[in-house]
C-alpha cells in the first residue's frame, strides 16, 4: 500500500502502530460492507466519526489509549488522502478532526469491555468441525488450515496473547509443542513469559506433525498464493490480520462477535473471577501499569506466575457446562 510507503520517515514503532490502526479501520469498513479495495473517494461522509464511536463501544471510554492509538493511525491515513486529493467530496481534515473530537468528548466513567460469555464456544466449535480427508492438494490444505486454526484459537484462549505476539511465534519458542512456557516480545519491545496449558500444546503438536516441515514460523499460510517459502519458510508466516480473520471466521460460525483482543480481555476477567490478584494478571498478560501500581503489588517470580496460571485458568469445556464459572 502506498500509504505504508509514505511512512518511511517514521520510526518502526509508529509505522507498525499506524498500519495496525489501518487494519482496524478496514475491518470496521468491512463490517459496513465496504471493501478495502473500494475507491477512497467513495467513503461515506462521517465514516471517521462512526469509527470513533465503534472504538468507544468496543473498548469503553477509559482508559483511552487504545482509541487514541487507532484514531491516530486513521487520521494519518486521512492526511495522506488529503495530500493526494483522494478524500470524498466535501470531506476535509479539519471537519473530520472536529467530528471525531466531538464523538470522543471527555472521558466518562470506565466501562469494562463487554465480552460475549459464549466466547469459549468458538474454540469448541472449531474442534468439533469434521476434519477434511487428505485425498488431494485442496483437501490437504483445508486440513492443515483447520488444524492451524484450532491451535491458534487454543493459544488465544489459554494465554490472552496479542495477535501480533501470536503471529510472531516460532516453533522454537514452543519447542515444537513441548514447552509449557515461552518468552515473547510484546508492546514497547518488552519481554515476558507466557504460559500454555497441555491442551494448547497438544493442538500445536498435532498441527506441526501434520505439516511435516521444518519451517521456522509456528503458524503458516497454506493458501495457493503464498509463493516461495523464503529462508526457513519466513515468507509463509501468517500475518496479524490473518489471526484476526481466523477469530472472525469461527466467531461467525458460532454466532459470536469476537476479536483476538476479546480473548485477552476474557483471560484477564476469568483469572480475576477465579481469585487471581490484579498484579498477577498484569504480569501474566504483560499489561502496562503505572509505576505507582508497581509499588503497591509485590514482585512475583516466574514460579509464582506459573502457579497462578495453573490455579486460575479454566478450560473452555468447563466454561460451557451448566453452572460453570464465569
Q: Which residues belong to the active site?
A: 162, 187, 261, 264, 287, 297
Kind of pairing between the strands at 181-185 and 191-195: antiparallel
* Nearest Cα residue to 168 out of 230, 226, 218: 218
Q: Are 289 and 295 in contact (CB under 8 A)?
A: no
197-217 per-residue burial string, b: 16 or more CB within 10 A, e: under 16: bebbbebbeebbebbeeebbb
Sign of the dihedral through C-alpha 113, 301, 316, 275: negative
Phi and psi at residue 222, to the nearest 5°: -125, 10
Helix (H) or strand (E) holding 184: strand 181-185
Grid cell in block for residue 68: 487514541
Task: For residue 220, give the DSSP letter.
Answer: B
Burial profile 232-263: b = 16 or more Cβ within 10 angstroms, e = fewer: ebeebbbebbbbbbbbbebbeebebbbbbbbb
In this structure, what C-alpha cell is assigned to residue 205?
A: 503438536
Grid coordinates representing 225 are: 498464493
Amino acid at each position: 500500500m502506498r500509504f505504508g510507503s509514505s511512512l518511511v520517515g517514521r520510526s518502526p514503532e509508529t509505522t507498525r502502530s499506524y498500519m495496525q490502526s489501518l487494519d482496524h479501520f478496514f475491518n470496521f469498513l468491512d463490517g459496513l460492507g465496504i471493501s478495502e479495495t473500494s475507491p477512497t473517494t467513495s467513503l461515506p461522509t462521517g465514516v471517521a466519526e462512526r469509527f470513533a464511536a465503534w472504538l468507544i463501544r468496543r473498548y469503553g471510554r477509559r482508559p483511552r489509549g487504545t482509541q487514541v492509538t487507532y484514531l491516530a493511525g486513521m487520521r494519518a491515513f486521512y492526511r495522506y488522502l488529503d495530500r493526494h486529493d483522494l478524500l470524498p467530496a466535501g470531506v476535509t481534515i479539519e471537519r473530520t478532526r472536529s467530528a471525531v473530537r466531538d464523538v470522543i468528548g471527555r472521558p466518562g466513567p470506565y466501562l469494562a469491555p463487554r465480552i460475549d460469555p459464549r466466547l469459549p464456544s468458538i474454540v469448541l466449535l472449531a474442534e468439533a468441525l469434521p476434519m477434511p480427508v487428505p485425498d488431494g492438494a485442496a483437501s490437504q490444505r483445508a486440513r492443515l488450515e483447520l488444524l492451524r486454526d484450532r491451535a491458534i484459537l487454543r493459544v488465544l484462549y489459554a494465554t490472552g496473547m496479542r495477535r501480533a505476539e501470536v503471529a510472531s511465534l516460532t516453533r522454537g519458542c514452543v519447542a515444537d509443542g513441548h514447552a509449557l512456557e515461552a518468552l515473547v516480545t510484546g508492546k514497547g519491545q518488552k519481554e515476558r513469559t507466557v504460559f500454555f496449558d497441555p491442551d494448547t500444546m497438544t493442538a500445536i503438536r498435532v498441527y506441526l506433525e501434520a505439516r511435516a516441515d521444518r519451517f521456522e514460523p509456528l503458524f503458516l499460510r497454506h493458501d495457493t498464493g503464498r509463493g516461495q517459502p523464503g529462508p526457513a519458510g519466513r515468507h509463509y508466516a501468517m500475518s496479524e490480520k490473518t489471526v484476526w480473520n481466523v477469530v472472525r471466521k469461527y466467531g461467525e460460525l458460532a454466532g459470536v462477535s469476537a476479536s483476538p483482543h476479546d480473548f485477552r480481555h476474557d483471560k484477564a476477567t476469568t483469572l480475576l473471577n477465579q481469585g487471581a490478584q490484579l498484579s498477577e494478571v498484569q504480569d501474566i498478560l504483560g499489561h502496562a501499569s503505572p509505576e505507582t501500581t508497581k509499588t503497591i503489588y509485590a514482585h512475583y517470580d516466574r514460579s509464582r506466575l506459573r502457579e497462578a496460571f495453573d490455579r486460575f485458568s479454566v478450560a473452555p469445556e468447563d466454561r460451557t457446562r451448566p453452572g460453570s464459572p464465569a
